[in-house]
Amino acid sequence: MYSNHVVLTRQRPISPSNGARATEGKFESAMNLRNKLHLLLTLLVAVSMVAQNPTPTGTPNLEDKEKGIAPIPVLTGGIALNSSFDSKEAALLPVVAPIILVPLGKHALIESEFEAESEVVHTEGAWEPVTLEKGVEYAQLDLFLNKYMTLVAGRYATPFNFYKERLDARWIRNLSAEPLIFGVEDNSSNGGMLRGAVPMGSSVQWTYAGFFSALTNNLYVGADRQTGVRTGLFFPKPRFEAAFSFSRRLGEVKFNSYGADFTWNVRRIPLDVRSEALISEAAGDGYWVEAAYRLSSPRFNKFFRRSQAVLRGEQYFGPRVAMDTGLEMPEGDASRIFSGWNYWITDNVRAGVAFGRQFGSNDDHNVWTLGISYRFVR
């Protein structure tokens, strides 16, 4: 009904003034976009309805004998205490990030993460006022539409490159310091997202995530108006994934960001290689490459078998167009190299130390980081 009304409105013969014509042009453009979105959404829902197999295909569905075991809500998350030291300041960064997962039947899941991070900084011989950043990282409803598509609604981590979605958790990341280009993906979106993975034969999987976010001005669940997509190919045998990301900010400041990432988890040796790149006129350009080697070989003693060596190199080049993007990016060009060591005290408790040297357009300095993280599941 709504679409018909729009079509009729567009066909009404009128002869407006130039200003009115321009206004109507914008209106028609907006209506066209809405029509397209309605059409796309209708098609997607129709496909998902048709594509449902007669037998349930959601993750929780196993053999008949297992169907009686219902999933239960899970409380998980992590606690971490990181510290950073350089020539100018020392900082303590305690973080707590509880995650709650609530299953709704077999085809839906509610998941939410709240993160509170404090920053205690000592600089120029004095302690600065303690700051506390807190917010909802995600609070989303996942609907498993079919084997290949999941509809995500609510607040979710923006799928641009992979660090935010997969490595941001303190008990997962290899180095406590985020990459220099992380600011462009360190945000959450409020809206909808379609994502999934489609096997294309036995040797490659196509992964995708497309999203739209609405502007939200709120201290805890703020978000920019933006849209974007991340799509890639994953090769299970060599455990290699390469993906491309695109996002367009649609708020008062409009700009595009392009990202590329790859991960290679070598099978023959316990070596993980990860990398991300960013190209954006307004946010800047940059890349990082990280290699992590787990010394799990039997020839090492117990201490080393619980250890991991990490090396990361990265560069960032400031924006080519001066815009107030609101992103937390480095001030000016910067290059940095980090080497780190992680040690698992238990399977859930990990300690890490890292040393880095940063070369900036203003100064060069060393950075030491020391931290411990704890992952819990209840």
Partner 1 sequence: MKKSIYTLCVVFLLSLLAAAADPAKPPQQERTPDGEAAYKTNCTRCHNTPPSLTERQTRVVVSHMRVRANLTASDAKAILRYLAENARSK
Q: Which residues bind partner 1 (CB under 8 A)?
A: 36, 40, 43-44, 47, 50-51, 53-54, 57-62, 66, 69-74, 76, 101-103, 109, 111, 142, 144, 146-150, 152, 165-167, 172, 195-202, 205, 207-209, 234, 236, 239, 263, 265, 272, 294, 344, 347-348, 375, 377
Q: By C-beta, is 46 or 321 nearer to partner 1?
A: 46
Q: How far is the CB of 271 from partner 1 (least distance, A)?
A: 12
Cα separation, 169 vs 298, whole angstroms: 29
Contacts 24+ apart (CB under 8 A), 19-26: none
Q: By C-beta, is 43 or 130 nearer to partner 1?
A: 43
β pairing state of 108-123 and 126-127: antiparallel
Q: How far is the CB of 276 from partner 1 (least distance, A)?
A: 14
Return the amino acid letter for 149.
M
Q: By C-beta, is 271 or 353 nearer to partner 1?
A: 271
Q: By C-beta, is 265 or 335 nearer to partner 1?
A: 265
Cα separation, 40 vs 170, whole angstroms: 38
Q: How far is the CB of 117 from partner 1 (least distance, A)?
A: 20
Q: By C-beta, is 175 or 327 nearer to partner 1?
A: 175
Q: How far is the CB of 334 from partner 1 (least distance, A)?
A: 26
Cα separation, 235 vs 378, whole angstroms: 33
Report which of 252, 114, 105, 260 is spatially closest to residue 181, judged by C-alpha positions. 260
Q: How far is the CB of 25 from partner 1 (least distance, A)?
A: 16
Q: How far is the CB of 357 from partner 1 (least distance, A)?
A: 27
Joined tokens for residue 15: 């002869």
CB-based contacts of 201, cutoff 8 Å, min separation 6: none
β pairing state of 285-294 and 271-279: antiparallel
Q: By C-beta, is 274 or 282 nearer to partner 1?
A: 274
Tell me phi and psi for residue 18, to 5 degrees: -60, -45
